[in-house]
Amino acid sequence: MADDGFNGATLLLDSVALGPILSINASDSAPEVDTTGSADSAATSAGGVPKLTISVEILGGTTASPNDTGALAVAWLDIGTSTLGTETTARVSSVSTSGSKDQPTTTTIEFVKAAPTA
């Protein structure tokens, strides 16, 4: 029976595991484009260009740096065949490391789809 658990999820950047993983957040969104005309009596909108953003929190530090690129693969433990977070051309958009007294050091790495290079 499926338990929909998170523990055991993995994230690979160019086949290199990042972790140990504390959390992953994959968000796929499309902004609204206002298409309301000056004579319209109600607001209208169209869907904008979708943007995938993946954020992973890991224990300790990382060698990943902003603008690193590669294939990103997220394997969720137990949510069926979801591939949300998998991107063949990902780019590291930010790296943030933090810690506090009597707590572990953690690093948050954010990924976005990389622009074509050719």
In-domain check, residue 35: no
Q: Does 3 reside within a domain?
A: no
* Any domain includes 58: yes
40 falls within a domain: no
Each residue's pLDDT tens digit, 88-108 = 899 999 999 999 999 999 999
Do the strands 87-98 and 69-75 form a parallel or antiparallel pair, or are they unpaired?
antiparallel
In a domain, 15, yes or no: yes
> What's the number of domains the chain is made of?
1
Q: What is the pLDDT of residues 17-48, one digit of tens each?
A: 988 999 999 888 899 999 999 999 999 999 99
Whether 37 maps to a domain, the answer reads no
Distance CA 44, CA 27 (A): 24
In a domain, 42, yes or no: no
Q: Classify residue 62: in a domain, yes or no.
A: yes
Enclosing domain of residue 99: 10-29+48-113
Q: What is the DSSP string of 78-95?
A: SSTT--TT-EEEEEEEEE
